[in-house]
Amino acid sequence: MQTADVTRQLARWIVDYPAASLPQPVRREGLRTVVNWLGCAIGGSPHETVDRALDAVRLFSGPAQATIFGRGREVDALHAALLNGIASHVLDYDDTHLKTIIHPAGPVASAAFAAAELMPINGADLLTAIILGIEAECRIGNCIYPDHYDRGWHITGTAGVFGAAAAVGRLLGLDSRKMTWALGIAATQSSGLREMFGTMCKSLHPGRAAQNGTMAAFLARSGFDSSERSIEAPRGFANVLSTKQDYGEILEGLGERWETSLNTYKPFACGIVIHPTIDGCQQIRTEIGDAVHRIAKVELTTHPLVLELTGKRTPKTGLEGKFSVYHSAAVALLHGDGTPSAFTDAIVADPAVIALRDRVMATADRAMPEESVRIVVTLDDGTVIERHIRRALGSVERPLSDAQLDEKFRGSSNPVLGEAVTDDVLATVWRLPTLPSINGLAALTIPARN
């Protein structure tokens, strides 16, 4: 593998790739990515994490250039990228590139949408830029995953900044030299520690990646230069932040193999390892109906990682509930729910949920794949119901349908914008490739003042 010129080759491809060549299925998956991301951003927008970030940055904000979806047009484009990136991630409900655990849209779409409100860009060009940004992001992620992640880097932040720079650089029409600089300015800002998981800084990572990548592209446009070998140089990104470097993952099959096609959307608002359990418990609920109130015990068999990450026996808060496979199983059986309403403080403290949760047992078994689960429910009359979930709903093999994406979008957006406006936003975002600009779509997401 020729590694002399990785950054320049990637930059040239981002600049030169003809939009007309984008395969229709890739364009369609890119659109599904945008629909899912926008719903997450609107749904997360009232979260206190967003409140606090906005409270801090409002003092420094420039003109009201771009929309904080679900809130209003009140900050400059850099800060809008930051806040939408935070909001889209804060409910743990966003998209996942399962090969790297990158959440691709948070950094890339948050950056590209904010930049697009600054200039005359139509929806089709915006979508192309987002898809190319996701390619840059996920390919750079593939190059260094898993060593980079294992060392402690939150890869959505560290790789996301490249994707944001690429997408905004494409929107700005940078030439390939300036695109190389934009990637370099991104590289030298790449950051985000996994130690922050469980705190507000986890959502800061995609937000700052969006903001910093946007600034990288604008700096490059103004002639601010950087190394042109920022990814592959001995003291560049891949060598400094990872022990593994597979540059073929970045350069091979550009325009043929599409990481965007591998993007997935969470049906449930929690870590991906609990998804098989929720999926299976929902299926059992559908099968047994009211008998969920007569469950004597629930036995789960999972890969050990599932219990390591989500083995919290007695969660006290909604956030802790996301790290409890016991709570998640109980609420899926009792209410059929895995959406954000399954992870509120109130539902975690609900006596009926707690009573069932305490009858859930889990056994770790290395023979069980990480993406699978075996569930055995025993009723008080001795009846046994079993489910073996190999791949959960929302995986590449069992993707959410467009209708399921719509349902998820409504669940996130209805509480913020109401049903009528939500329907309007949803219909409009699906028409993104035909919109002459995105200003109307952005304006639709602003709630009427009370």
Instruction: State the residues that interact with a second copy by CB under 8 A.
Output: 49, 52-53, 55-57, 59-62, 65, 76-79, 118, 151-154, 157, 184-185, 187-196, 198-201, 204-205, 208, 215, 218-219, 221-227, 229-230, 233-237, 239-240
Q: Which is nearer to a second copy, 50 or 360 (CB)?
A: 50
Residue pair 438/432 in contact by the 8 Å Cβ criterion = yes
Closest distance of CB 197 from a second copy, Å? 8
Q: Which is nearer to a second copy, 202 or 374 (CB)?
A: 202
Closest distance of CB 91 from a second copy, Å? 17
H-helix or E-strand spanning residue 263:
strand 263-265
Closest distance of CB 111 from a second copy, Å? 13
Closest distance of CB 195 from a second copy, Å? 4
Closest distance of CB 108 from a second copy, Å? 19
Residue pair 201/29 in contact by the 8 Å Cβ criterion = no
Residue 219 region, left (φ>0) first, then alpha (ψ -120 to 50), else beta?
Answer: alpha
Q: Which is nearer to a second copy, 191 or 283 (CB)?
A: 191
Rounded Cα gap, residues 283 and 10, in angstroms: 44
Closest distance of CB 87 from a second copy, Å? 14
Tokens matching residue 53? 């970030």
Q: Which is nearer to a second copy, 48 or 365 (CB)?
A: 48
Rounded Cα gap, residues 107 and 243, in angstroms: 24
Beta bridge partner(s), residue 301: 363, 374
- Count Cα neighbours of 295 within 13 Å in the Cβ-side half-sphere: 31
How deeply is 113 buried, as exposed, middle or buried, from its count of CB atoms within 10 A (0-12, 13-18, 19+)? buried
Among candidates 47, 120, 119, which has minimal Cα distance to 84? 47
Q: Which is nearer to a second copy, 319 or 446 (CB)?
A: 319
Relative to beta strand 360-364, strand 295-302 is: parallel
Q: Which is nearer to a second copy, 221 or 408 (CB)?
A: 221
Q: Which is nearer to a second copy, 16 or 308 (CB)?
A: 308
Closest distance of CB 59 from a second copy, Å? 7
Closest distance of CB 153 from a second copy, Å? 7
Closest distance of CB 164 from a second copy, Å? 15
How deeply is 378 buried, as exposed, middle or buried, from its count of CB atoms within 10 A (0-12, 13-18, 19+)? middle
Q: Which is nearer to a second copy, 240 or 384 (CB)?
A: 240
Q: Residue 265: what are its φ and ψ, rounded to 5°?
A: -125, 130
Closest distance of CB 282 from a second copy, Å? 33
Rounded Cα gap, residues 248 and 240, in angstroms: 18
Q: Which is nearer to a second copy, 32 or 229 (CB)?
A: 229
Q: Which is nearer to a second copy, 79 or 285 (CB)?
A: 79
Tokens matching residue 6? 């990785």
In Å, how far are 6, 226, 284, 340, 386 from 298, measured between CA atoms? 52, 57, 11, 23, 10
CB atoms within 10 A of CB 433: 17
Integer Rg of the chain from CA: 22
